[in-house]
Amino acid sequence: MREIIVVINPGSTSTKFAAYRRKKEIFTATIKHSTEELAPFERIIDQYRMRSDLILRGLDEHGVKLEDVAAVVGRGGLLYPLSEGGTYQVNDEMVEDLRNAVQGEHASNLGALIARETASKAGCPAFIVDPVIVDEKMDVTRLSGFPGLERKSIFHALNHKAVAKRYAAETGRSYDKLNLIVAHMGGGISIGAHREGRVVDVNNALDGDGPFTPERSGTAPVGDLIRLCFSGKHTKEELLKMNKGKGGVVGYLGTNNMMEVERRYLAGEPFVALVFKSMAYQIAREICSFLPAFEGRKVDRVILTGGLARCEPLVDLIVHYLSSSSLQVTVYPGEDEMGALRDGALSVIEGREKAKTYRRPASA
C-alpha cells in the first residue's frame, strides 16, 4: 500500500522538500538557488520546470520511488481568498490562477504546480494546505473606516492552524471547540482570533497593519503617511520598501537580525531597549485588541509561535504586558511548515478530512 507523502515548499532562493512514510521522516533536503541561477527567469513561474526537475532528481537520489507515493503536497500560493482553511486538491482552476499570478508573484505560487507535476508522474493526488490567503474573517471585521480600503486576511495560516491544533491535541480537546489567540512572530507578525475552528479576525501581516516587525512597519498614522506620500521626499517604491523590507526594527536600528538586537537589548543600549520593548508592547496590545472577536466567550489560550518565540526576553515582555489580563500564554517556538503540510495531506489520505475544492470567485 502506498504510504509516502512528498512535501514541497518553494522559497525565493531555495526549494525545501521532504518525504515521509506516514509521519516518519525519510529525508528532508534544501536546494539553494543562486542569484545567477535565477537571473534568466523573468517571472517566478518561469522557474517551474527547473525546480520541478531538481525535485524529481532529488527524490530519485534519496531512493523514493514514485509508485510508493500516496500524495504530494505543496505550499499554497497567492490565490483568490479561500473562505475556509484546510486541505485543497490541486485542480485546473488553481493551476491557471497561479500561473497568471492573480494575486501577485511569489515563490509559494510554485508549490501547487510542482506538486501536481510530481503527483501526475506518481499517479496520486496533489494538495495544498492552509495557504496565506485563507479568509475566515467575520464581515464586521472587514471595514477599515476608510471607504474603498477593506481589511484583508493575509497571514501565516499554515503555522497558525498547526499550532492551534497542536494545543488542542495536547490538552485533549477539539480545535473547533476552542477559542484561541495565536501570534505568529517572524519577519512578519500575524495575530489572529481562532473562534471554534475559524480565524474570524486577523491582521494583514504582509503589508497592511498590526505591530511593527523586524522589517515591516505595521499600522502607521494614516494622516501623516498620506502627507509623507505627497511630500516629494520619497518615491512610491521607496515608501513601499519603508513599509515592507526596511520598516520596523531594521528601519530604527539598521538590522533585522533579532539575535543581534536581543544581545544589544540585554547589554542595555537605551534606544535598542526602547525599540525592543515597543515591539513587544505592540504585539501584546494587538493580542488584546482581538478580545471583541469572541463576543463574550472565554479565551482558552494565547499561543506565541514563530522564530521570534525563541527570543525569551521578547516573550517575557509580552507576557508582562498581558499580565493585567486573565489571558494565559503557551509558547511553541519556531514553526514546522513541512510537518503541517504533511499532516494536512495525511488527514485526507487517512479519511479524517475531505479534500476541499478551489473555485475562483464569480466576480474574478
What are 294-313's pLDDT values in tens digits? 999 999 999 999 999 999 99
Answer whether residue 316 shows pLDDT above 90.
yes
| pLDDT of the residue at 12 | 81
Average pLDDT over residues 65-79: 96
By C-alpha distance, which of 22, 28, 16 is closest to 3? 22
In angstroms, rounded to a whole number, what is the distance separating the alpha carbons of residues 154 and 78? Answer: 9
Q: Does domain 4-136+338-357 have CATH number 3.30.360.10?
A: no
In angstroms, rounded to a whole number, what is the distance separating the alpha carbons of residues 139 and 160? Answer: 21
Q: How far is CA 224 from CA 48, 143, 211, 238, 242, in A?
A: 42, 21, 17, 16, 14
In this prediction, residue 76 has a pLDDT band, given cuts at 50, 70 and 90, of: very high
Which pTM value belongs to this model?
A: 0.92
Please name the CATH architecture into which domain 157-334 falls: 2-Layer Sandwich (3.30)
| pLDDT of the residue at 22 | 94
Answer whether residue 364 shows pLDDT above 80.
no
Strand partners, 190: 184
What are 237-269's pLDDT values in tens digits? 999 999 999 999 999 999 999 999 999 999 999
pLDDT averaged over every residue in the chain: 95
Average pLDDT over residues 266-282: 98
| pLDDT of the residue at 303 | 98
Average pLDDT over residues 356-361: 95
Average pLDDT over residues 6-19: 93
Give the rounded distance of the alpha carbon of 176 from its chain centre: 20
| pLDDT of the residue at 259 | 96
Instruction: Report the sign of the C-alpha dihedral through residues 325, 327, 331, 337, in that order.
Output: negative
- In percent, how much of the chain has pLDDT > 70? 100
In this prediction, residue 208 has a pLDDT band, given cuts at 50, 70 and 90, of: confident
User: What stretch(es) of the chain map to CATH 3.30.420.40?
Assistant: 4-136+338-357, 157-334
| pLDDT of the residue at 206 | 85
What are 153-207's pLDDT values in tens digits? 999 999 999 999 999 999 999 999 999 999 999 999 999 999 999 999 999 998 8
